Amino acid sequence: MSRLTQIIHAGRKLWHFHGGLHIDDHKDMSLQRPLRDAQIPDRLVIPLHQHIGELPVLKVKIGDRVLKGQLIAEAEQYVSANIHAPSSGTVIEVGEHAISHPSGLKSVCITLETDGKDEWSNELPEPMTDYQNFSTSELGQRIRWAGIVGMGGATCPSSVKLNPGPGKKINTLIVNGAECEPYISCDDSLMQNHADNIIEGIQIVMHMLSAKNCLVGIEDNKPKALQSMQSAVEKSGNNQIEIISIPTIYPSGGEKQLIQILTGKEVPSHGLPADIGIVCHNVGTLEAIYEAVILGRPSISRLVTVTGQGVKEPGNFRVANGTSIANLVAQAGGYTADADRLIQGGPMMGYTLYDDDIPLTKGANCVLVTTAEEIPSNTPAIPCIRCGRCAEACPVELLPQQLYWHARSRDFDKTQDFNLFDCIECGCCSHVCPSHIPLVQYYRYAKTEIWTKEEEKRKSDIARQRHEFRQARLERIEAEKKARLRKKKEDLENKKTSDTKDPKKAAIEAAMKRAAEKKQKMQESGVKPANTEALTTAQQKQIDEADKRRGDR
């Protein structure tokens, strides 16, 4: 029952995570044609929302002419990313446009009418070809400038991930080339075509993190990618980088799963890889880092797989940020007559889009168009029979059947008790469910309900606190007012009583009385003031003169 099974795969010691699935990968479909550069459309719609974290701040207005690579939205918060113009042209609109989101959510987008010149900005930073001579923070600044986000789909700003914080020593860089989702082959294509750049990117990141070694995990269904990466490593002569063939089993490309496969270590629940001295990056991200550092170019395009039986000419494209799905599919020969479902991402974790007028962003790795024959509509769900196949498939070793039970009955405390938030939503449980229950959907529901509740609780806590503060303030003011009144009243009363006998007057009277008594006593005893007795003649003369002067006046 130990989930940490060690295995020997392709001559190397690896580890096995719990569960997982062997599924048809359908990757050949999009690998038949060579990697192409997609044409830049007449119109690019560039969402500001392309990463997790805060939105960047607009730097252009309608009518501005922008050049390729020019900064058009700037990250002001720490967890945010710059956005640059993917091509040259004129800003014709800034406003709400549907973005890639399962609910058809709208968000602020910059619409750029391209001029076809694709003219580079002349304000791009200098290439840092000798990156070894630059400090971690200088390189980090460059990566932050380039607006690079995690290109495996998580879209976490890379500069954040490359700054694990003080006290966290990173020993190992793990590079994710697993690409475990069926159909998707953009990372495969990238590794086959640009292995040298990826290796260069790896060396930059290793330099930044002072990492001792780097493990590159690639599923063994990509022999060409394995080979080209291996020869790129040999060419670089860097023996700290190891290209590792891992067994093809979904979801080996999950960050925590890949780390476990390669190192046997578990990222703690609610923790980060940096907690165990590891940073993990996708191959696409590393290529973007290479471009930013060595070429001085921002992240404005990426590789996208267009595939599925609903597309006439599936393949991989280098796509400018902001190209619409409709435009890209048209470049891939268009839809077939029986295209049925449009999915962004893979069949396991991707989400359907209702409409194809949606811009592709930094995190978009795949456009999958399937036919009803290829992916039939799910048969209706029937009750759970607790067969436990989901638990056998779960890579996190949760009990999906119990989570489902509690999520369904809205017992959210219980779902958390059963570690709901460790669920990575990989879809293995739903995939194997004989009752065809959309289990992941229940977990997403439970998670958002809990988040909403927590947010509500936070808000109501704040409201209650404010109310309590206000109440306390009012009470304090009231009390102070009362105290002031009371004091005034007391003062007044004191004054009334002292009018009959003023202490000041009494003191003066007493003093005068004392002086008079003294004088009388002295006269009675015949004593005169000592200072006018026994004067010298000179002194007497002075006095006389003074008296005389007084008399003159």
Which of the residues 425 through 484 are near other proteins (CB under 8 A)?
425, 427, 430-436, 438, 440-441
Sites for other proteins among residues 295-314 (CB under 8 A) = none
Q: Which is nearer to other proteins, 44 or 394 (CB)?
A: 394
Sites for other proteins among residues 11-40 (CB under 8 A) = 17-18, 21, 23
CB of 340 to other proteins, least distance (A): 6
How distant is the alpha carbon of residue 183 from its chain centre? 28
Q: Which two tokens stand for residue 385?
A: 């029979």
Q: Is 5 in the site for other proteins (CB under 8 A)?
A: no
Using the contact rule CB under 8 A, the part of the chain among 28-36, 240-248, 387-395, 478-486 near other proteins is: 387-395
**2: helix, strand or coil:** coil
Name the strands in the sheet holding 57-58, side by side, starting at the edge strand that comes first in the sequence: 57-58, 71-74, 83-84
CB of 429 to other proteins, least distance (A): 9
Q: Which is nearer to other proteins, 143 or 258 (CB)?
A: 258
For the CA atoms of 512, 516, 521, 523, the dihedral, rounded to the nearest 10 degrees, stands at 150
Sites for other proteins among residues 249-288 (CB under 8 A) = 256, 260, 266-271
How far apart, in Å, are the Cα atoms of 251 and each of 246, 248, 308, 326? 12, 9, 20, 29
Nearest CA to 266 among 542, 548, 15? Answer: 15
Contact (CB, 8 A) for 180 and 251: yes
* Of positions 384, 407, 443, 446, contacts other proteins by CB under 8 A: 384
Alpha carbon distance 542, 520 (integer Å): 30
How far apart, in Å, are the Cα atoms of 420 and each of 44, 176, 455, 535? 39, 25, 18, 111
Binding-site string for other proteins from residue 162 to residue 201, where x marks contact by CB under 8 A and - marks none: --------------------x-------------------
Q: Which is nearer to other proteins, 58 or 326 (CB)?
A: 326
Contact (CB, 8 A) for 269 and 419: yes
**501: helix, strand or coil:** coil
* Of positions 165, 166, 237, 383, contacts other proteins by CB under 8 A: 383
Q: Which two tokens stand for residue 240?
A: 């700290």
CB of 220 to other proteins, least distance (A): 21
**472: helix, strand or coil:** helix
CB of 113 to other proteins, least distance (A): 23
Q: Which is nearer to other proteins, 177 or 273 (CB)?
A: 273
CB of 407 to other proteins, least distance (A): 14
Q: Which is nearer to other proteins, 315 or 427 (CB)?
A: 427
* Structure letter (DSSP) for residue 295: I
Contact (CB, 8 A) for 86 and 359: no
* Of positions 108, 156, 294, 326, contacts other proteins by CB under 8 A: 326
CB of 294 to other proteins, least distance (A): 36
Alpha carbon distance 241, 195 (integer Å): 13
Q: Is 413 in the site for other proteins (CB under 8 A)?
A: no
CB of 380 to other proteins, least distance (A): 7
**What are the DSSP calls for 225-251, one per residue?**
HHHHHHHHHHHHT-TTEEEEEE---BT
CB of 388 to other proteins, least distance (A): 5
Binding-site string for other proteins from residue 55 to residue 94, where x marks contact by CB under 8 A and - marks none: ----------------------------------------
Q: Which is nearer to other proteins, 26 or 161 (CB)?
A: 26
Alpha carbon distance 434, 469 (integer Å): 56
Q: Beta 339-344 vs 241-246: how paired, if at all?
A: unpaired
How distant is the alpha carbon of residue 218 from its chain centre? 27
Name the strands in the sheet holding 106-114, side by side, starting at the edge strand that comes first in the sequence: 43-47, 106-114, 89-98, 65-66
Amino acid at 458: R
Nearest CA to 252 among 223, 220, 284? Answer: 220
Sites for other proteins among residues 92-121 (CB under 8 A) = 102
Q: Which is nearer to other proteins, 125 or 334 (CB)?
A: 334
* Of positions 11, 63, 380, 551, contacts other proteins by CB under 8 A: 380
Compute the C-alpha angle 17/20/26, nearest 5°: 130
CB of 207 to other proteins, least distance (A): 29
* Of positions 131, 317, 335, 443, contacts other proteins by CB under 8 A: 335
CB of 138 to other proteins, least distance (A): 34
CB of 463 to other proteins, least distance (A): 30
**What are the DSSP calls for 383-431, one per residue?**
------HHHHH-TT---HHHHHHHHHTT-HHHHHHTTGGG-----HHHH
Total residues interacting with other proteins, rule: CB under 8 A = 73
Sites for other proteins among residues 501-530 (CB under 8 A) = none
CB of 339 to other proteins, least distance (A): 8
Sites for other proteins among residues 348-377 (CB under 8 A) = 348-356, 370, 375, 377
